Amino acid sequence: MKHDYSEPFVVDASSRHTQTCILLHGRGSNGPKFGEALLVSQTADGSTLGEIFPSMKFIFPTGKKRRSTILKRIPINQWFDNYSLEDPSMREHLQVDGLRETTEVIHQIIRDEVSSGISPSNIILGGLSQGCAASIYALLTFDEKLGAYIGMSGWFPFVKYVNESLQETGQETKSRVESSDEEDEEENETTGKEEEEEEESDEEEENDEEESEEGGERDETGHDDREAPIGAGQNEKTTSSSLNSTNTSKAPLKAIEALNFLRENIDFPLSVLRLITGPL
């Protein structure tokens, strides 16, 4: 999907390119300003990032010009709009369009790097302030696992919905575990009873053999009335095992669904959050 974003500020690797680092600037800044300031900064021993990581390519995208609600509708470079700096959760519906669009742009940058031969495991994503908030969603909604993430002075948008989903998933997992434990106990009790019945059956057979040797002929085709029919114990165990397998099947991961909502249409504020089922 085509978006009206300027070309990222790119600093190529000084040696053979094997890794890529994509970093998003904060509100009101831009890729060149953020990237140049970061790359000339020195570590304690006087080295720069380029000197420490000569095989790394650095990409600094620039946020789209958007009217800022906080700054009385003045257009500034930002990844998404905000209503409040003190409480980013206020009127969160303002963030949705920008987050969705930014996520698509960052995903395309990652895919371009993969197409050039860089493995996703050698791609680092991150950001500063609002760039951190935006890059978190780009990370969590990407199709493949990346190598690392760097978050600086940021926050997690819509985190309350994800927390609620995680709590629900945790309760479902706890219920499944407790149900599984109860079934294991029942299966152990059943197995113990079967072993006792088998021991009693063996003793009875020995007694019958002794009686037969003393003079009584025994009907070889008959069963002792107290002996369990052959296969009865196996059926009970199979049934219990089948139930256990059914109850431990994977439940829908609502937390992942909550993260996936950026890929779909969301009705705000009529619908607080529409969960979308699908792989991450």
Q: What CATH number should be reported for the domain holding residue 150?
A: 3.40.50.1820
Given a contact cutoff of 8 angstroms between Cβ atoms, the answer to whether 78 and 98 are in contact is: yes
pLDDT at 1 exceeding the cut of 50: no
Domain presence at residue 48: yes
Q: Determine the pLDDT at residue 10.
A: 98
> Is 179 found in the same domain as 134?
no
Q: Determine the pLDDT at residue 187.
A: 61
Q: How confident is the model at residue 260 (pLDDT cuts 50, 70, 90)?
A: low
Domain presence at residue 107: yes
Q: Determine the pLDDT at residue 204.
A: 60
Q: Which residues pair with 123 in a beta bridge?
A: 20
Q: Write down which residue in 112, 135, 157 finishes a domain.
A: 157
Weakest mean pLDDT among 172-181, 202-211, 236-245: 236-245
What is the residue range of 48's domain? 9-157
pLDDT at 36 exceeding the cut of 70: yes
Instruction: Kindly state the average pLDDT of the residues 35-49.
Output: 95
Nearest CA to 9 among 24, 28, 39, 31?
A: 31
Contacts for 6 with CB less than 8 Å, ≥ 6 apart = 30, 31, 62
Distance, CA of 8 to CA of 31 (rounded, Å): 6
Q: In whole angstroms, how far apart are CA 213 and each of 78, 84, 224, 280?
A: 97, 96, 17, 72
Distance, CA of 254 to CA of 278 (rounded, Å): 10
Given a contact cutoff of 8 angstroms between Cβ atoms, the answer to whether 118 and 17 are in contact is: yes
How many domains does the structure of the chain reveal? Answer: 2
